[in-house]
A and B are shown apart, each in its own frame.
Chain A
């Protein structure tokens, strides 16, 4: 960190602040691109974790870039900038430096109306093209959009819009996404293999995919806006509904973020149980991911087997937490209620059962020559591309990028257990497939070590009836089943947050499709999509 500070102190337009686990760099809006280039190429900040748009009221709009290095992944560096006045809403795009900025900047543009100069594809990402205003601005008028009664017209030949600086003045450039002679097929929003309501426009040539354009927002619920009017305990219940397959981990992230802000000590019992529940959720999610992948390949039987085994976990959740898909178990300060007396017995019964079933799953599918033929050497994502597209989680660990937050920056009880971060180097669909089954094995190991040692004691720390976070900005990252889930809370000291931003691991995964899919076949497109294992409600927050 000293080198960074030393390097940045030579620049007069930045100021650096150091906190215990992150560095905050404040920069003038004109110099963002310059600083970004220094950070990326001189200081090796190769992973753009997230871009958070902010509305600072009279001080204009702001953007926070969260950056990380692959050599020092535990530390996040926040680069903050604010435009100064509400009239100024232009910033330089960092797309060319980090590929993942493409979708993040579109999101900020969509919600805050900040125009990113030189962004290659500055369309609205979630909202309809005919939407008025920018909803996450604080002065957004709720009446400005009536409930739409007509369908949005999405032509096959949609145009993309960008703003370039040309000899000192702005220039609007409009270009078509596809050529008029391309054969464009719509996959989704209703399609059996799109895992929700994702819409992919795919231009194909025979069986081969030439070009692909994902279209999001079909189930956007405005959760981030909603959070601004909710109290912190109420926010927890929306978080479950982001990535419904790793709901407990997402909740865990928000709880940790609030606890860190409040300085709350979580009892060890709660920490152990949270970890076990997280790992159970991870197993359930990976089983479903495995099953869906098999089903997308045409093997429906494997899907049913995956769901059958997942049912055991759902039963454990139902008995202990009272909910199946939405256990609502983590609360700020601990867990909502003590574990059921049967919990330990059931989990212990589950571990050998799952091990046996894993073996069967491997025989049924991993060894199958048809399946391996369809997966091996298909959909290659290199480590460098994985980092720059921001793809985290199992999908990028298959490319050899070690980014497991459970290892890098252990939270709850992860520092007390011994497990391996599964890494593979192939980066193809097969590696992304097998890594999930291997992670189930590791999760079982974690649970095995914790289940007998759950400490006695309180299961939740005492909190006040009304939880008020101190003024400031807080970020927490958690490894969920799809990658690094991040929650950024900006608080003004009230009982509701000023701004909440969730970093969805799925959004960048879908964006990575653009990178991986071209020159593959239609069947591979489905397979690659399944192997990235994205969940659409997490993208469409």
Chain B
């Protein structure tokens, strides 16, 4: 008889736990949904500013940037994401100076470690929180960060 009581009590207990589990799922059914409707909520949702999405080089209104083409970011990059192409300019005093020709950033091989931005002595490069990187061909991920015809900012020129 004892065995039989234990057997029935076990079944009842099990049923109770199963029902409370089903109560939890029902509770979640009536809760607001967590899915983000991505293309629809574009612009409505605020994205975190700190998010490392893509490397950019800010330019001011005169089409000037801060990059002195020193190459520290290139050295610090663990997997050769950054390529700096320089040209030698002669300034008015006759000194030869390196100047930035092209700052090539390969988003496809970037691991977003931020060693480039943290090591940049000029603060010439920055992260933006842009995250829509999809392109059709791989070479489109290779981006030139400095704009056409841009020059070094005057106050950074020493």
Q: A residues touching B (Cβ–Cβ < 8 Å)?
A: 230-231, 233-234, 236-238, 301, 305, 308, 311, 315, 318-323, 326, 328, 331, 336-337, 340, 360, 363-365, 367-370, 465
Cβ A323 vs Cβ B112 within 8 A: yes
Residues of chain B from 1 to 54 with CB closer than 8 A to chain A in the complex: 13-14, 17-18, 20-21, 23-25, 27-28, 34, 48, 50-52
Chain A residue nearest in CB terms to B121 = A465
> Do A364 and B24 contact each other (CB < 8 Å), given the known contacts A230-B78, A318-B50, A318-B51?
yes
Check A234–B24 contact: CB distance below 8 A.
Answer: no
Q: How far is the CA of A328 from the CA of B50 in the complex (A)?
A: 12
Q: How far is the CB of B37 from chain A (nearest CB, A)?
A: 15
Using a CB-CB cutoff of 8 Å, which residues 55-95 of chain B contact chain A?
76, 78
Of B13, B18, B48, B118, chain A has the most CB atoms within 10 Å of the CB of: B48
Alpha-carbon separation in the docked complex, A337 to B21 (Å): 43
CA A337 to CA B51, docked complex, whole Å: 12
From A233, A301, A322, A465, name the one whose CB has the most chain B CB atoms within 10 angstroms: A322
- Residues of A within 8 Å of B17, CB to CB, are 367-369
Is B25 a contact partner of A301 (Cβ separation < 8 A)? Answer: yes
Q: Chain A residues near B50: list those with CB within 8 A.
A: 318-322, 337, 340
Enumerate chain A residues within 8 angstroms of B24, measured Cβ to Cβ: 360, 363-364
B114: interface (CB < 8 Å): yes
**Number of residue pairs spanning A and B whose beta carbons lie under 8 angstroms apart:** 69
- On B, residues with C-beta under 8 Å from A are 13-14, 17-18, 20-21, 23-25, 27-28, 34, 48, 50-52, 76, 78, 111-115, 118-119, 127
A322 adjacent to B113 (CB under 8 Å): no
Across chains A and B, which 4 residue pairs bring their CB atoms closest together, nearest first? A369-B14, A237-B113, A322-B50, A367-B17
Query: Can you list 26 residue pairs at the A/B interface with Cβ under 8 Å?
Result: A233-B76, A234-B76, A234-B113, A234-B115, A236-B113, A237-B78, A301-B25, A318-B50, A318-B51, A321-B50, A322-B50, A322-B52, A323-B112, A328-B52, A328-B114, A336-B118, A337-B50, A340-B50, A363-B23, A363-B24, A364-B24, A364-B25, A365-B21, A368-B18, A368-B21, A369-B14
* Bound Cα distance from A360 to B25, whole angstroms: 10
Chain B residues closer than 8 Å to A320, beta-carbon distance: 50
In angstroms, Cα B111 to Cα A308, docked, is: 26
Residues of B within 8 A of A315 (CB): 48
Residue ID in chain A nearest B53 by CB atoms: A322
Residues of A within 8 A of B21 (CB): 363-365, 367-368
The reply to whether B111 and A237 form a contact with Cβ atoms under 8 Å apart is yes
Q: Is the CB of B34 within 8 A of A233?
A: no
Residues of B within 8 A of A365 (CB): 21
A233 / chain B contacts, CB cutoff of 8 Å: 76, 115
A92 to chain B, nearest CB (A): 39
B114 touches A336 (CB 8 A): yes
B51: chain A residues within 8 A (beta carbon): 318, 322-323
Chain B residues lying within 8 Å of A321, measured Cβ to Cβ, are 50
How near does chain B come to A472, taking the closest CB pair, in angstroms? 24
C-alpha gap A331/B76 in the complex (Å): 14
Q: Nearest CB to that of A229 among chain B residues?
A: B78
Collect the chain B residues with CB atoms within 8 Å of residue A323's CB. 51-52, 112
Which residues of chain B come closer than 8 Å to A234, judged between CB atoms? Answer: 76, 78, 113, 115
CB-nearest residue of chain B to A361 = B24
Beta-carbon nearest neighbor of B47 in chain A: A318
Task: Write out the residue numbers on chain A whose beta carbons fall within 8 Å of the beta carbon of B112.
Answer: 323, 326, 328
Give chain B residues whose Cβ lies under 8 Å from the Cβ of A336.
114, 118
Task: Tell me the complex Cα distance, A368–B28, Å.
Answer: 17
Name the one of A322, A368, A465 contacting B119, with C-beta atoms under 8 angstroms. Answer: A465
Answer whether A319 and B113 are a contact pair too, CB < 8 Å, given A336-B118, A367-B21. Answer: no
Question: Which residues from chain B contact A367 at a C-beta distance below 8 Å?
Answer: 17, 20-21
**Smallest CB–CB gap between A413 and chain B, Å?**
23
A370 to B50, CA, bound (A): 45
A323→B111 CA distance, assembly (Å): 11
Report the bound CA distance from A305 to B29 in whole Å: 12
Q: Which residues of A contact B118 (CB under 8 A)?
A: 331, 336
Chain B residue nearest to A315 (CB atoms) is B48
Closest partner residue, chain A, to B23 (CB atom): A363
Chain B proximity of A245: nearest CB distance (Å) = 17
Known: A234-B115, A237-B115. A369 touches B48 (CB 8 A): no
CA distance A323 to B51 in the complex (A): 6
Q: Per a CB cutoff under 8 Å, which of B18, B34, B48, B113 touches A328?
A: B113
Beta-carbon contact of A322 and B28 below 8 Å: no
Q: Which residue of B lies closest to A360 (CB)?
A: B24
Is the Cβ of A318 less than 8 Å from the Cβ of B48?
Answer: yes
Across the interface, which residues of B come within 8 angstroms of A363, CB to CB?
20-21, 23-24
A236 surroundings in chain B (CB, below 8 A): 113
CA distance A367 to B27 in the complex (A): 17
In the assembled complex, the Cα of A287 lies from the Cα of B113 at a distance in Å of: 26
Known A311-B34, A368-B21; contact A322-B114, beta-carbon cutoff 8 A: yes
